[in-house]
Structure formats: C-alpha cells, structure tokens
Chains A and B, each alone.
Chain A
Amino acid sequence: MRDDVASIGVMRDRPSDLPIRFEAVDYRAASFAILSGVTFDIGPGAPTLLLGPNGSGKTTLLKLGMELLTPSGGRLTFAGRQASAGSGTAIVLQKPAMMRRSVAANISFALAAARRPAYPNVVAHLLDQVGLAGFEHRPARRLSGGEQQRLALARALARDPEVLFLDEPTASLDPAGTKGVEDIIVRIAHAGVKIVMATHDLGQARRLGGDVVFLVAGRVIEQAPAPDFFASPSTDEARRFLAGDLVI
C-alpha cells in the first residue's frame, strides 16, 4: 500500500509511531474498570491479534491505541512520544458508519480529512485495493455488509496509515465475505502496514496472527507468537479458551 500510494505521489513523510507501548495502562468508565494494568508492545512486523471473549477490553485497547480514549492510569507512548505522529494510525470500527454519499464520495471525504488531495486516480486506486473498483457511484449505504467493511478499509487506508487498527472487521460477515476481507488484510500487511486486530474468532487468529495478545476481563493474560500460543498456551485461561470453554 505504502509503495503503491507513493507511486502516485501522495505519500507524506512523518516520523514512525512504532513501537506503541502500553505500560500498566488502566481504563475506567465511571467507576467500572475496563482495563487494568495492561502492559504490552505493538512493534512493526506481522499482525498483532487481540484475542479474547466479548467484554475483555479489546475494543477499548484499540481505541486507546487510536487515541480516541485517554488512559485513566499508566502510560501509553508512540515511539517514545506521548502522542502519535498524526495521521500514522487509522481504525476500522466493528460497525462502520457509511456516510450518506456515494462510495467515491466516502473515500474523498476520508482523504480530505487526512489533508490529502482527493484526485480521482487516488480514489480509484484505494477502491481497487479493496476490490471495489467500479463501485464509485453506488450509494455507500446500499452496499452489502462485506462491501461496507471493504469501503471502511479503503477509508482507513486513505490516511496512509503506518498502523491499522481493526475491530472485529468480519464479525457480521458470512465465510465468503470474511475471506474477502481477510485477503485484503493480508495484502495490506504484506505492503508494510502494521495490523492490530481484535477478534474472538480462533480460526481467524490462526490464519492471520503474527503475535497474539490474549485478554480476559480487561487484563493481558498471555502474549506470544501465534504458533506458540496455539501450540502450547502457558496459562489455564488460554488453554480453556482454546478448548472452547467459556472464559469470562
């Protein structure tokens, strides 16, 4: 992606945001603890999968990394800085809102928000990246669920992110839609964008995972390379989760 975008002359120079470091991060909503003492690093390389049951704090972690939320305690740094470099991060929400515009206009809006020129060739390139070439003039809200997720991915890519946070992007998709989105994620990752993805789908974590961060009830229970995590989990919670038991 970064090379492709650079080839059409719209990539900007900026300092790297990696590694993103969570140091004993807490997050509370009112008096309820969503995250407690979370410590881990997001470095460059293969996708990082945030794995865990519903309510384990995956979405909150993504929103903290995206700076949509501020930690209640602890420290969050981006390559040692207190804040990210600006447009270096992007997120695809679990239920992305489609603006009441055409597909192309949705992309143009995201480009404008990222202070990038919305040339037709840039829009077409982004849509091509996610397999939506030819969809330019369709109303975004009339796309299927899978197509909407792909458009949301294209909008996120419009920021030319170094880190892309994905919040269960295939949660409501059928197997074909899931495969379509996963193929795009793999291509984006191979192009050098760091993927940080929340999921509770074990199969998906096996297919995509580089590192796995396993969360339960707002705490990081285990962090390991995906093959190690699936082959020999070191905690009882992870073993039970992998065995299909209900872990709450």
Chain B
Amino acid sequence: MEAAGAFDLLWLADANLFAIVRLSLGITLAATFFAALLGMPLGAFAALVRFRGREALIVVLNAFMGLPPVVVGLCVFLLLSRSGPLGQLGLLFTPTAMVVAQTVLISPIVAALARQVIEDLWAEYCDEFNAMRVGPVARVAALLWDARFSLVTILLAGFGRAAAEVGAVIIVGGNIEGFTRVMTTTIALETSKGNLTLAVSLGVVLIALIMTINALAWSIRRWSEKHAG
C-alpha cells in the first residue's frame, strides 16, 4: 500500500518531495565541492611533501574517514551555536550549517583517498620525472591530471557518503520543514510518524541516487582503462 503511494508521489512529481530532493542535492553537491577544495590539496601535500608529523597526519586522515556523523554534527553545532566561536554568523539551523557539517565529514575521506592515489602514482612516476627534470608545479599538475579518473571516483564516494548521512545534518540543520529538511532527515521523521509513503518514496530516490553514483564511478573506471590505460 505504502509502496504504491510512494511510486505515485514519484510518478506525479510531487512538489514537496522534489523540493526535498533538490535541497538535498544542493547541500551535498556544495559539500562535495568544498571537500574537494580542501581534501585534494591536503591529500596531494601529504603524498608529495616530506615533513615532520606527516605520518601522524596520514594516521589522523585515515582515522577521520570513519568519523561518526553525530560527533561531527555535535562539533559543528558547538562551533555555530550562539555561545560558540562562530555563533555571531547565525548559521545554525540553516542549509549552510549542513554544508559545513557534510564538508567536515567527507573532507578526510577525500584527502585520505587522494593521498593514497597520488602517492601510488608518484612512486610509479618518480624516477621518470626526475630524469625528465620536471619541475614541482608541473609534477603536481601531471599527477593530478593522470589521477583524474581515480580522483573523480573519490569525489563520487564522498558525495555518496554525504548524501546518505543523517546524524550530522539533523543536529545542525534542525530538520525545519521547507528550509533544512533533506531526504535522510525526512525519512527518519516520517518513519517515526508512521507516514511511510513519503519515507519510502524518498528512500527509492536515495537508493536510485546511490546506484547512479556507483554506476557512474564504474563507467568512469572502465572508460579510463580503455582510453587512458
């Protein structure tokens, strides 16, 4: 019964449902973008530069890949709450706060995986680049370009993790209807209320989204193997 109603909502392009989906995608895309801005250079830095504390940074990045979302939500909440250091910005319970939380959550994933990919590629290219006298800027640019398919896959993994996350965004977003209510928080709320129709329809969208991301990642991998070797 709920399943039929859920597919009706999807089939009839329910405005409320699609507003939630749009907001979810917007927040997650923004978080993925900022995580790429932070995580990729950090990963490249950790991969290519030898400095005191590098090993510790790598351990921390790897450990933070498994950050509990509720803990991230709590930290961002404390940071943005009225009495917190960034309370004056008035960002708590806004989509911006949710972007911040998701960025914090997936940046370590992007950084840690990018570090591994770039370091592996560097181990392969190191002697050739030294022999060709490739300068430091050109080295980094070449490594990022040649690792582009793997890096895009990493971003898709980060996007998937952020899209499916509920703990952090419900704490910092507040799950306000029409403002900060996203797919995962709506599913949690509507399920607790017994309104399974909307919850199931959003679940279908979420699963379709995750499947699409994985299909995209797989396609990129296949394409890169065929065309870039």
Contacts and interface: CB of A to CB of B under 8 A. Distances in A.
Q: Do A and B actually bind?
A: yes
Interface of A: 66, 68, 86-87, 90-91, 93, 96-102, 109-110, 112-114, 139-142, 155, 159
Given A90-B131, A93-B128, A96-B128, 16 more contacts: A68-B130, A86-B133, A97-B124, A97-B128, A99-B128, A100-B146, A100-B147, A100-B224, A112-B138, A113-B129, A113-B135, A139-B228, A139-B229, A141-B228, A142-B229, A159-B132
A59 to B, nearest CB: 11
A114 B132 CA distance: 7
Contacts of B226: 139
B131 A98 contact: no
A68 B224 CA distance: 32
A178 B54 CA distance: 44
A109 B142 contact: yes
A108 to B, nearest CB: 11
B146 A68 contact: no
B125 interface: yes
Contacts, number: 52
B56 to A, nearest CB: 25
Most buried by B among A87, A93, A99: A99
Interface of B: 124-125, 127-135, 138, 142, 146-147, 224, 226-229
B99 to A, nearest CB: 33
A98 B124 CA distance: 9
Contacts of B138: 112-113
Contact of B131 (A93, A99, A109, A112): A93
Most buried by A among B131, B134, B135, B226: B131
Most buried by B among A66, A97, A100, A141: A100
B132 A141 contact: no
B126 to A, nearest CB: 8
B101 to A, nearest CB: 35
Contacts of B229: 98, 100-101, 139-142
A107 B130 CA distance: 16
A87 B133 CA distance: 8
B146 to A, nearest CB: 4
Nearest to B124: A97
A91 B131 contact: yes
A66 B124 CA distance: 19
Contact of A101 (B124, B127, B135, B228): B228
16 contacts: A68-B130, A90-B131, A93-B128, A96-B128, A97-B125, A98-B229, A100-B146, A100-B228, A100-B229, A101-B146, A113-B129, A113-B133, A113-B134, A139-B227, A139-B228, A142-B229
Nearest to A111: B132
Contacts of A68: 127, 130-131
Contacts of B133: 86-87, 113-114
Contacts of A91: 131
Contacts of A155: 132
Nearest to B146: A100
